Amino acid sequence: MDKNKEYFMKIALQEAKKAALIQEVPIGAIVVYDGKIIGRGHNLREHSQNTIDHAEMVAIDEACRNLRSWRLADCDLYVTIEPCLMCAGAIINARVKNVYYGAPDYKAGAAESLYNVFNDSRLNHLVHAEGGILSTECGQIMKDFFKKARKKRKAQKRANMVEK
């Protein structure tokens, strides 16, 4: 495993942990240009109540503002979970060079699971995509989050029954 990729994925994981801390589905992303992080984001959808606020979109938004350009050519994006259609589309539209992700998303992933849009030569930009970077850690934080959420819901249900 490329040490550099692990280094940056660990930073994306830190972003994912920030999401977990505020009870958001723990996904984190960063955009890297010339070895520097120019965009960071974690999932904020529940807090902002905005559909668009997936980790990748927040990171892309910041990167565009930092570079003052909608083109993120020669940029790499690291994200802990395989991107969905919206985020993959944004990555293509932004002309991102490389996407590195951690764990696959079998229900909504657009890089390998349901679609493989980064490799679609009909589109005007191809993205090199590579999954499996710190896959276990990236997947585990999601599993822990959903396990905790289920436990909380069960406890709540029990409490409601006692009240009745």
Measured CA to CA, the distance from residue 41 to residue 63 in angstroms comes to: 10
* 3-class DSSP state of 70: coil
Backbone angles phi, psi at 124, to 5 degrees: -85, 5
The CA distance from 48 to 39, in Å, is: 18
Work out which of 33, 37, 93, 132 binds its own copies, going by CB under 8 A.
Answer: 93
Q: In the chain, helix, strand, coil percent, each to 5?
A: 45, 20, 35
Per CB under 8 A, which region of 19-27, 110-118, 138-146, 152-160 contacts its own copies?
110-118
| 148 lies in the binding site for its own copies (CB under 8 A) | no
Q: Of 11, 37, 108, 126, which lies in the binding site for its own copies, with binding defined by CB under 8 A?
A: 108
Give the shortest CB-10-to-its own copies separation in angstroms: 26
Site mask, its own copies, residues 43-72, x = CB under 8 A?
--xx-xxxxxxx--x--xx--xx--xxxxx
49: left (phi over 0), alpha (psi -120 to 50) or beta: left
Residue 15 annotated as catalytic: no
Whether residue 64 is annotated as binding a ligand: the answer is no
* Residue 106 Cα to chain centre, angstroms: 14
Q: Taking the mean position of all CA atoms in its chain, how far away is CA 39?
A: 12
15, 24, 46, 56: the active-site residue? 56
Catalytic residues: 56
Residues that bind its own copies (CB under 8 A): 45-46, 48-54, 57, 60-61, 64-65, 68-72, 84-90, 92-94, 107-108, 110, 114-115, 117, 120, 122-124
